[in-house]
Chain A
């Protein structure tokens, strides 16, 4: 992995000390990461999910995008998950894709850890 990707994963491990962080290195210097468990929020029937994403070798100059969560994530109120979500496999796992793009990416301040926090904050605000 590139030094930047390695640092990103260290930050994620520190940021989610209660979770298991599973990392698969990629030949080009990137990595596929699964963090589990995380709480998607009380509006979902499932209070735990894994969340997966790819940190590419271009990081931090490329967005960490998209993210994926368990495929059976369901709202308590029965409503659809709605915009920004699509059933799509990730790394051969059935999943729900969460498409939140950082259109104002700033490589100096945007990190994979903060992006993960932003995605979870968004999911919990739905």
Chain B
């Protein structure tokens, strides 16, 4: 377990397995920030970076952008996508 995940265990309660870019990621929930989700995903081998844009895939098909400081309540059904930000051209 990475130090980042260990810190989350201390700060939160139970482990929740969510999906980030379709890959399973364990976070300490149920309330977790966008930054914590990305840090947990990175620690568990998902190839993203902390400055990626995180979106939550809602059951309705809508998506919601989750900022680093935004707190979301996660369940085992929670799905997130993290993609690189864009550049002006």
Chain A residues with CB under 8 A of B89: 65-66, 84, 99-101
The answer to whether B86 touches A114 (Cβ under 8 A) is no
Chain A residues with CB under 8 A of B82: 109
B65 at the interface (CB under 8 A from A): yes
B21 at the interface (CB under 8 A from A): yes
With A and B bound together, what is the CA distance between A90 and B62 in angstroms? 26
- Nearest-neighbour CB distance to chain A for B19, whole angstroms, equals 12
Q: Nearest CB to that of A119 among chain B residues?
A: B86
Q: Nearest CB to that of A12 among chain B residues?
A: B61
Query: Which of A17, A100, A114, A115 makes the CB contact (< 8 A) with B60?
Result: A17
B53 at the interface (CB under 8 A from A): yes
B2 at the interface (CB under 8 A from A): no
What total of chain B residues lie within 8 Å of the partner, measured CB to CB?
A: 17
Chain A residues with CB under 8 A of B53: 114, 118, 121
What total of chain A residues lie within 8 Å of the partner, measured CB to CB?
A: 30
B83 at the interface (CB under 8 A from A): yes
B10 at the interface (CB under 8 A from A): no
Most chain B Cβ neighbours within 10 Å, of A100, A117, A119: A117
The answer to whether A102 touches B55 (Cβ under 8 A) is no
- Nearest-neighbour CB distance to chain B for A11, whole angstroms, equals 7
Chain A residues with CB under 8 A of B63: 15, 113-114, 117
Binding site for B on A (CB under 8 A): 11, 13-17, 65-66, 83-84, 99-106, 108-111, 113-115, 117-119, 121-122
